[in-house]
């Protein structure tokens, strides 16, 4: 009998309390659960995180813990969903940036889609990395020392990135593969 690829792994999903692109939260969350992992919603404040379907309000999701309370050592990987407002709020919060940078410093895998690499730019962890994002971030990524490419999904060491919701099937496949190789 074979085990699920993410069995016994806990994956943090880092979000602001508002502005998350709903599909970029839900589909990777479901991919982690389907692979046997345990997703945990980490946010700026306790309570609920409001997702959006582009510019229209979507569902609200219960926050499991805050960045101030969370410890990188409790997680095997990190997912950064997009939405324009979501990473913009995260990159302005010192606890969120510290949490994200902590994954890279610990050698743990990170998956970021759409506008989410903005938080990685702020954390100063993109130097020498090849990645993709929503096209409007390419100058920020280059200025942070990364190489931006226009591809459906890019995997570079500890990092998996994709451009947009249409890329979610490839993004989810790669993040499960990346996280399954993470030290548990």
Mean of the per-residue pLDDT values for the chain? 96
Q: What is the pLDDT of residues 146-169, one digit of tens each?
A: 999 999 999 999 999 999 999 999
Question: What pLDDT does residue 2 have?
Answer: 60
Question: What pLDDT does residue 3 have?
Answer: 75
Rounded average pLDDT over 34-57? 97
Q: What is the pLDDT of residues 131-151, one digit of tens each?
A: 999 999 999 999 999 999 999
Rounded average pLDDT over 92-100? 98
Catalytic residues: 114-115
| CA–CA distance, 27 with 163 (Å, rounded to integer) | 15
SS3 145: coil
Q: Is the pLDDT score of 1 beyond 70?
A: no
Q: Give the angle 44-182-115 at the CA atoms, nearest 5°.
A: 40
Tokens of 171: 């993004």
Q: What is the fold, at CATH topology level, of the domain defined by 10-180?
A: Rossmann fold (3.40.50)
Question: What pLDDT does residue 184 have?
Answer: 41
């Amino acid at each position: 009998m074979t085990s699920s690829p993410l069995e016994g792994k806990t994956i943090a999903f880092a979000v602001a309390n508002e502005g998350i692109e709903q599909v970029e939260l839900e589909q990777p969350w479901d991919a982690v659960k389907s692979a046997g992992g345990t997703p945990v919603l980490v946010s700026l404040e306790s309570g609920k995180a409001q997702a959006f379907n582009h510019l229209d309000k979507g569902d609200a999701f219960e926050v499991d813990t805050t960045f101030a309370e969370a410890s990188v050592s409790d997680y095997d990987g990190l997912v950064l969903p997009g939405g324009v407002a979501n990473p913009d709020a995260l990159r302005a919060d010192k606890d969120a940036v510290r949490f994200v940078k902590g994954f890279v410093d610990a050698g743990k895998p990170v998956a970021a889609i759409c506008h989410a690499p903005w938080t990685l730019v702020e954390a100063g962890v993109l130097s020498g990395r090849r990645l993709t994002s929503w096209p409007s971030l390419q100058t920020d990524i280059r200025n942070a020392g990364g190489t931006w490419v226009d591809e459906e999904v890019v995997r570079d060491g500890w990092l998996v990135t994709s451009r947009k919701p249409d890329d979610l099937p490839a993004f989810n496949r790669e993040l499960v593969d990346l996280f399954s190789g993470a030290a548990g």
